Amino acid sequence: MAHHLLVCEKPSAARKIAYALGGRGVGRIGRGVPFYRFQKGADIITVVSALGHLYSPVQQGKGWSFPVFNLVWKPAAGGRAKRFLEEIARLAKEADSFISACDYDTEGSLIAFMILRNACGGADANARRMKFSSLTRDELLRAYENASELDMPVINAGKARHEIDWIFGVNVSRAIMDAYSCNTGSFEVLSAGRVQSPTLDALCRREDEIDLHVPDPYWAAGAEIRFLSSGEAAEAEYSKNPILRKGEGEALRLRCDGSPGTVRHVEEGELTIPAPHPFDLGELQSEAYRVFGLQPWRTQKVAEGLYLEGLISYPRTSSQQLPPSIGFRGILTKLGTNEAYKESVSGILNYADSGRGLWPRQGKKSDPAHPAIHPTGIKPNRLGADARKVYDLIVKRFISTFGPPARKSLRSIEVELEQGDVFTIEAEAVSDPGWMKHYAPYVKISSSRLPEAKEGEAARAENVWVEERFTDPPPRFNQSSLIKFMERNGLGTKSTRAEIIGTLYRRGYISGSNIHVTELGRGVIEMLRKRFPDLVSIGLTRDLEERMAGIEEGREEYSAVLIRGAEAIKGAFECMISEFEAAGAEVTSLVDGLRDQGKIGACPSCKNGELRVIRSRKTGKRFVGCSNYGAGCSFSAPLPQRGTIKPSGETCRACGYPTMLVIGGWTKPWRVCLNPECPARVRR
């Protein structure tokens, strides 16, 4: 009798996998670290979970220095993580066969590999890999029966990414903080990273474009055209918009207002709009932001929860394609048992059975590990508000991909006035909604009415208007458009982009839903451009991303890519070390200038100290403390760890303590009272 140990990524996934493979015979054992055991045929199977990454790269040896390249993978230090590792190690001694059942991507493969190699005593040498894209019973059974050898190229790609990011992030962050510390004798948490820094640099460049934009004036003209035969009127645009000179616009208004004219041309056409392709993660994040205002990190978290419930396929995918192997008709039939989708599913199946076939429209992007995001057909029980929204969006997008094209009727009327000026009326109407009716309300089926007119018909221009306008600066990034920019430029991965943006918010480098770069963010980038130009280079980051993808695809060697990353940063540090004092003075000037701007006010405890925002050297968390701490004042107040903190300049009405404004991209600014015992400590 063989004893197999299955290592899963999260406790909820372990439970799902255990009951899918073992059915009613599963026994749940343990409390603090639960695991599952059952018999399958002649074999005993134990399913145990990790807590995400239980191992991470750290410096080999002690000391705080840079540059440092000697890293080693160590177990997580937290008490709960330690208990999980101890239990996994104990269970490993009872097993003679090991299977990685973590999410099938670079992170999941790496999580299982580190556990198998370290906690399980080198079990990676003979372990197997389950490969699945959803947590449905049928797919998990197939994945178990067809488990193959470990996906070492994927594992090595994950290792390389973590190690290169560690080399970049730890070294540059230490260099900046050491330069500041040596210059001032104090400590300030500042960070930089291989992907974080070029992303922030791109935001700064957009900020510069906006600041340097000089609006150019132009004029737009239009009129109300009345058709004399019917008496109907419609809004029309001047055919030569934009007008670049003010005098021309005013002259147009004077000569055209009330002028007679003739319908010169009537044109009718039709526009065919194909069905949308299925979601990849980036597209889901963008669409959820557009229709619900959900931030990308939130959409990703909600989608991962839906996946763990078995309701959708694995969301961290770059694919926009659905293979027939997922069973199109079976999923649609299951969705049709839900009253909310019954009518749409019936329409799609009737369309398919009429001879058109049941084929989704495929996108261009593919993913070797997973298909596009799609529902599994399992009916949800109780979902939270955001989960209901994201699930409904995914289901309706999936259904609509099978739909017929939508069609719009287009009509335009050109009216030439007696002076020769031409005005154009345009309108469109949805003649056949096709797939759109299945994707409502996330697509608008709107129409505009166009009056009937014939060529040669008499008309008249009324209420001619001329409006001065100005050219717009480039738009600010929001989190959705920033993720698209990062994807286009090879910054980060589908799994990490939202997290990187969150880090920029937490560090206080950016703020607002329409992203503004803070003075701190701009100062850090200016220093990096001067001292570490390679670190803000999109080209270098893209090159390393492509090389790491090459490891996964078998085109690149893990060691060669790691050496390339180390060499890229080595030259930058030689420059930094030679100008260490100058860099320290530069960082000190930046931080102290911002600190002076951020003084909160007098300490309400000792009365003569100054309240300031401080970061803990040990934890990196920020709080409010008194400048007289060394002289015995112990006043402190906790602060939210996300968002930009600014003094409000006002005191709390309830207790008289100073208050702070918290500004972030996820909510409106809100005020925090610094009195921990204030009954109105947090108020909107």
DSSP 11: H
Lowest mean pLDDT: which of 10-24, 70-84, 342-356, 613-627?
A: 613-627
Is the pLDDT score of 677 beyond 90? Answer: no
pLDDT digits (tens, 9 = 90+) for 74-129: 998 778 899 999 999 999 999 999 999 999 999 999 999 999 999 999 999 999 99
Q: Locate tokens 């015995």: which residue? A: 632
- Residues 55, 35: contact at Cβ < 8 Å? no
Query: Residues with Cβ < 8 Å from 65, sequence gap 6 or more?
Result: 174
pLDDT computed for residue 618 by the predictor: 59
pLDDT top residue among 535 and 539: 539
pLDDT computed for residue 683 by the predictor: 44
Is the pLDDT score of 468 beyond 50? Answer: yes
Instruction: Give residue 136's Cα distance to chain centre.
Output: 26
Distance CA(169)–CA(59), nearest Å, equals 12
- Confidence band (pLDDT; 50, 70, 90) for 322? very high
Lowest mean pLDDT: which of 51-60, 81-90, 617-626?
A: 617-626
- Confidence band (pLDDT; 50, 70, 90) for 619? low
Q: Locate 512 and state its tokens.
A: 């607002």
Half-sphere exposure of 42 (CA within 13 A, CB side): 2
pLDDT digits (tens, 9 = 90+) for 232-279: 899 999 999 999 988 999 999 999 999 999 999 999 999 999 999 999
Closest CA to 253 of 423, 415, 412: 423
Query: Residues with Cβ < 8 Å from 274, sequence gap 6 or more?
Result: 361, 405
Q: What kind and span of H or E run contains 236?
A: strand 233-238
* Ramachandran angles phi, psi of 192, nearest 5°: -145, 165
Is the pLDDT score of 510 beyond 60? Answer: yes
Q: What is the DSSP string of 522-533?
A: HHHHHHHHHH-G
pLDDT computed for residue 171 by the predictor: 82
- Confidence band (pLDDT; 50, 70, 90) for 654? confident
Select which of 314, 341, 509, 657 is catalytic: 314
Closest CA to 69 of 194, 168, 167: 167
Q: How far is CA 248 from CA 221, 314, 450, 467, in A?
A: 10, 59, 29, 12
Closest CA to 203 of 482, 592, 582: 482
pLDDT computed for residue 456 by the predictor: 93
Residue type, 511: S
pLDDT computed for residue 679 by the predictor: 79
User: Taking residues 565-577, what's their average pLDDT?
Assistant: 75
DSSP 117: I
Query: Residues with Cβ < 8 Å from 497, sequence gap 6 or more?
Result: 282, 296, 483, 486, 487, 491
Distance CA(497)–CA(500), nearest Å, equals 5
Q: What domains appear along the chain, each with residue ranges and CATH number?
A: 3-150 (3.40.50.140), 160-212+476-586 (1.10.460.10), 217-274+406-470 (2.70.20.10), 281-400 (1.10.290.10), 599-683 (no CATH)
Distance CA(442)–CA(283), nearest Å, equals 14
Is the pLDDT score of 525 beyond 50? Answer: yes
pLDDT computed for residue 574 by the predictor: 73
104 is catalytic: no
Closest CA to 334 of 145, 141, 102, 134: 134
pLDDT digits (tens, 9 = 90+) for 628-637: 876 788 888 8
pLDDT computed for residue 28 by the predictor: 86
User: Taking residues 299-305, what's their average pLDDT?
Assistant: 95
pLDDT computed for residue 598 by the predictor: 53
Instruction: Give residue 648's Cα distance to chain centre.
Output: 30
Is the pLDDT score of 684 beyond 50? Answer: no
Q: What kind and span of H or E run contains 399?
A: helix 385-400
User: Taking residues 5-9, what's their average pLDDT?
Assistant: 96
User: Taking residues 528-551, what's their average pLDDT?
Assistant: 87
pTM of the predicted protein model: 0.81
Is the pLDDT score of 177 beyond 50? Answer: yes
Give percent above pLDDT 70 in the chain.
92
pLDDT computed for residue 278 by the predictor: 97
Q: What is the DSSP string of 12-48?
A: HHHHHHHHHHHGGG-EEE-SSS-EEEEEETTEEEEEE
For residue 532, count other CB atoms closer than 10 A to its CB. Answer: 24
